[in-house]
Amino acid sequence: MKTTTISDIASIAGVSKSTVSRVLTGNSFVDSSKKVRILKAIEDTEYVPKLAARSLRGSSTRTIGVILNLDPDYHFSDFVSMETLRGISSSAQKSGYRVSVIIEPCNAAIPTIIRDKSVDALIVMGLKEKEEALLSLSNTEGSEIPIVLLNYSQEYKAFPSVSFSNEENAYDFSMYVISMGHEDIGLIDSSRDVLAVANRNHGILRALKESRIRHNPEWYFEYSNISGMEAGKRAASSFMKLERKPSV
């Protein structure tokens, strides 16, 4: 099915594209009869305006989209992610951009954003393996919208990325805890299908293996639809019920 454009709305309403644009941007200097025809055409065609088409100054939306690759019912309160968002927003504002945060799985969000050209650039957080929307772009000519990934993966090498040393940081921290005499180590983390989490797990397990400490699955608490303080409460409750509890 052909996507309705601003030109279609203008043709149906019998007006110019600039008149449609003035209605979409809330300009009051539009003849009332023309406005009625335009709004009826929009309603009849179920037209969804593109932000890029709303700007009479050009194609720029002055907006950077940030996808939090999460299910909509995820209770988001992750300190690291919040600080990352704060940094993105701060830098964007200094350059005259605003940030639009989209909490939605990648595969659902990316095709719509690229189709509608609703942002000037896109940052993807919470990257997982086998994100088909990204893989399809990397196997073609790519996207008209620049896409930057947080955390690098060889699988998505076609895209620029900003990475944290998740595996090495987790390894170093684990080795420090072990050097303090702890062997019964508990871990609270989110789903291991998130690349950053998987990398942290690799670092922790490597430290345990090198130190010849057995990994106890009972001391690993994984959460998916909860976050922050609530995850900590549930993990603590789970650990306290164990006959042998982690020491750290």
For the cut 80, the answer to whether the pLDDT of residue 10 exceeds it is yes
Pick the residue with more confidence: 132 or 226? 132
Write the DSSP string, 117-146. Answer: T-SSEEEEES-BTT-HHHHHHHTTT--SS-
Which domains are assigned to the chain? Answer: 6-49 (1.10.260.40), 63-162 (3.40.50.2300), 166-240 (3.40.50.2300)
Q: Radius of gyration over alpha carbons of the chain, in Å? A: 24
Rounded to whole angstroms, the Cα distance separating 90 from 80 reads 15
pLDDT tens-digit readout, 168-226: 888 999 999 999 888 888 887 766 667 777 788 888 889 999 999 888 887 777 766 55
Helix (H, G, I), strand (E, B) or coil at 85: helix
**pTM of the predicted model as reported, rounded to 2 decimal places:** 0.58
